[in-house]
Structure 1
């Protein structure tokens, strides 16, 4: 099936008041599991490759992007390809040479005025090439290499008035907001501020994005979508499923050396996780 655009999937979900899930791709097996999970659930999904994943692959975007694109094209499910948490301007521009319809340009660690300037330039560049741009305002902590961040600390969450001004100044197509989740959570214990989500939804004219959804319980995700969240990012939950399956297999068969033996159950575990999130949404 031809790739669909992230903007198309997110806009349709926002119009229907439902969520659309975006899953992080690190390995070929991640991409295969996302496609298989979407086919099982019978709904669309977004495959997203982060700057950290590109770094893992030696700093080269082309190979992992081509692999994810090929898997998406071969799938019977409607799938989009998204480049996530991009800090490097060079990597942003590399998206134009691959099949990405969207990029999350992350200038959230910069002071507000610098964030606006850098993001507005990324939006101008992207829109000239038909690329949909997501950005972040607030502090969704938990990324590798960052100091610990309390998702409920003062000043961390996204302010609705500032969000409205930010969207107007930058022209972004979607906004990732800090509402109580955190990246890299392995336990689903996050508590979201649903009142804040509703106020953000009312303040900005673009879809809202929830990062760190792996740590958010099912009922909290349902309530977040009802309150106004649209794009739901999932990464660590796939890695937890993958690693858990590998560990279980190797504990039972420690002499195994053929990686296909344990990658099969690892991929199956990720597929079930993807289907679970998609059925939830």
Structure 2
């Protein structure tokens, strides 16, 4: 089916009170696993390529982006492409021509005034070129000389009033918020502040995004979606499925030199993880996942 846009998938998910699963892609195997798992779950999905992934591929965006686009078009459920955690404005400029319908511009490490200025400029560029722009806000800080906390530092929380002001000042289309998750968690022990999620939902007029969702248990993910989070970003969980499966395959096939023999089970392990988490994210109150847009 045609490549979906992140904006349309977010709008439908928000209207249906469902989460939209978004998985980070590093290799072709990741992209194939995301598509396969989303098809099993029967839910729309976003394939995300981060600035770090682009750096891993020698700074070349197009090869992986074009591969992901082809996989998304061939997917049996709606799939969109998103450029994640962009700090380099030149990389953002490359997104429209590379097939992305959305990007996340990350200026969260900057002092607040600089964050607002840089993100507003990114949003203006994005909107001129048909991109949906996501940004991130942790605790603004800067009071009594206190520096801002990164959005996923321990204890960081996004203030609803500051978040509303930030969206108004920058013009972003979605906002990633700090509510208790952390990037790169390999155990699912995060406890989200669901009361804060509800307050943010009431205060902020754009869809809210949860980063670091790999460390959040199923029940917390469902509750977070019910409280108003929409786009749920998942990355590390794919790698924690891939790497042990790869190690097992290498141990079982010590003489193998054909990488397909060991990559195939690792890809299958990622696909199973995608299917399980996509179903969790897309379900609220036991409702069946919706594969289509209409």
- With the shorter chain as reference, the TM-score category is over 0.9
**Partner-residue secondary structure (3-state), 2:3:** coil
Could you tell me how far apart the structure 2 residues matched to 1:228 and 1:76 are? 27
List per-residue Cα deviations over 1:7-45 (Å, max 9, x = no partner).
Answer: 100111111111000000100011101111111111110
Partner of 2:32: 32
Aligned residues: 272
- In structure 2, C-alpha distance between the alignment counterparts of 1:192 and 1:128, rounded to whole Å: 35
TM superposition shift of 1:152: 4.1
**Structure 2 equivalent of residue 60 of structure 1:** 60
Deviations 1:182-209 (A, max 9, x none): 0000000101100111110011000100
SS at match of 2:80: strand
Asked whether the equivalents of residues 151 and 178 of structure 2 are also in contact (C-alpha less than 8 Å), the reply is no
1:118-133 maps to which residues of 2 (within 5 A)? 118-133=118-133
The Cα shift of 1:274 comes to 0.6
Distance 1:277 1:168 in 2: 32
Q: In terms of mean alpha carbon deviation, does 251-260 or 1-10 score higher?
A: 251-260
CA displacement at 1:75 relative to structure 2? 1.5
Measured after TM superposition, the shift of residue 254 of structure 1 is 2.0
2:257 corresponding residue in structure 1: 257
Give the match's secondary structure for 2:95: helix
Per-residue deviation, 1:253: 2.1
Aligned match of 1:268 = 268
Q: Is contact 2:213–2:233 with CA below 8 Å preserved after alignment? A: yes
Partner of 1:49, secondary structure, is strand
Scaled by the length of structure 2, the TM-score of the pair is 0.90
Per the alignment, residue 206 of structure 2 pairs with 206
Relative to structure 1, is the Cα distance of residues 101 and 149 closer, same or farther in structure 2, using a 3 angstrom cutoff?
A: closer
Show the counterpart of 1:106: 106
Do the aligned residues in 1 keep the contact of 2:109 with 2:150 (CA within 8 Å)? no
- Structure 1's 45 and 209: CA in aligned 2 closer, same or farther, altered over 3 A? same
Match of 1:88 in 2: 88
1:196 aligns with 2:201: no
Partner Cα separation in structure 2 for residue 233 and residue 83 of structure 1: 12
What residue number does 2:289 align with? none
Structure 2, unmatched stretches of 5+, are 140-148, 282-294
- Asked whether the equivalents of residues 138 and 151 of structure 2 are also in contact (C-alpha less than 8 Å), the reply is no
* Post-superposition offset of 1:74: 1.4
TM-score for the superposition, normalised by structure 1:
0.94
| Secondary structure, counterpart of 1:175 in structure 2 | strand
Deviation at 1:255, TM superposition (A): 2.1
Stretches of structure 1 lacking an aligned partner (at least 5 in a row)? 140-146
* Aligned equivalent of 1:43: 43
User: Match of 1:84, SS?
Assistant: strand
Task: Specify the SS of the correspondent of 1:232.
Answer: strand
* Equivalence for 1:143: none
